[in-house]
Amino acid sequence: MDKTLQKYLPETAVAPCWALIKQNNVHLKIVNERVTRHGDYRRMPSGAHRITVNASLNKYRFLITLVHEIAHLVAFEKFGRRIKPHGQEWKRTFQYMMLPFIRPEIFPSQLLPLLANHFRNPKASSSTDAKLSIALKAFDHGETDNTYIFEVPTGSVFRIYNGKIFKKGHRRVKRYECVEVATGRLYLFQPNAEVELIN
C-alpha cells in the first residue's frame, strides 16, 4: 500500500500517512472521481473502517482529504458516534492530525500561509475555503475548459458539472447570486465554484 501511496502523496508525507493508516486499521480505497466529494469515511457492519479518496486529486489535496477522513474515524472512536460529523471534536482532531504535515518539506511555500489560516477553524471541505481551493487548483493534473465563477463577467451564462445552466448575478458578501435559466430559481455560488462558460 505504501508503494501505491507514493503515486498520490508528496514523497515526505508517504511514511507518516502509511503509519496513520496502519495505526487506525484503515481500509483505503482510491476511487474514480466523484464530482460532489473528494473523499468519504464509513464504518462497515463488520466494524472495519473504510476510507475512499478520489484518484484524480493532486497530491496536496489528496493528503488533506486523506487526513480529513482519518480524523472522522479518530474523532468518532474517541468521542463517540453521536458527535456532529464536522463539529468541534472533529475540528480539533483534524487540526491535531494535520499539524505535523504543514511543513515546507511537504507543502510548497505558497500554500503554507493559506493552510495555517484554514486550519485555525477547518471547514467541512477545503473547497469552501476559496483562497485555499484556488491555490490548490494550481497543482491539478491537466487542463480543463472550466473557469471560476468569480472570473466570469456579471450577466454571463454558464453550465455546472450536472449540466444545469445559470446566469451570473451580483456578489452578495462572499457568494454570487445566480439564476437557473430553466426554472428562474436563485442560487448562491462560492467564488471558487468551477463553471463552463457558454458563448
> Among 166, 184, 183, 181, which residue's Cα sits nearest to residue 193?
166
The pLDDT score that the predictor gives to residue 41 is: 93
Same domain, 51 and 88: yes
> Among 96, 102, 104, 134, which residue's Cα sits nearest to residue 117?
102
β 26-31/49-54 pair status: parallel
Same domain, 63 and 157: no
| pTM as predicted | 0.80
Residue 61 lies in a domain: yes
Tell me the mean pLDDT in the region 166-193.
Answer: 92
The pLDDT score that the predictor gives to residue 9 is: 97
The pLDDT score that the predictor gives to residue 177 is: 94
Residue 130: all three cell numbers together: 476559496
Same domain, 160 and 128: no
Q: How many domains does the chain have?
A: 2
Host domain of residue 152: 147-197
Same domain, 159 and 118: no
pLDDT tens profile 11-24: 999 999 999 999 99
pLDDT tens profile 111-157: 999 999 999 999 888 777 888 888 898 898 765 556 888 888 999 99
CB 137: neighbour CB atoms within 10 A? 16
Residue 142 lies in a domain: no
Q: Which positions ≥6 away from 38 have C-beta within 8 Å?
A: 53, 54, 57, 61, 65, 68, 125, 126, 127
pLDDT tens profile 51-101: 999 998 999 999 999 999 999 999 999 999 899 989 999 999 999 999 999
Same domain, 31 and 84: yes
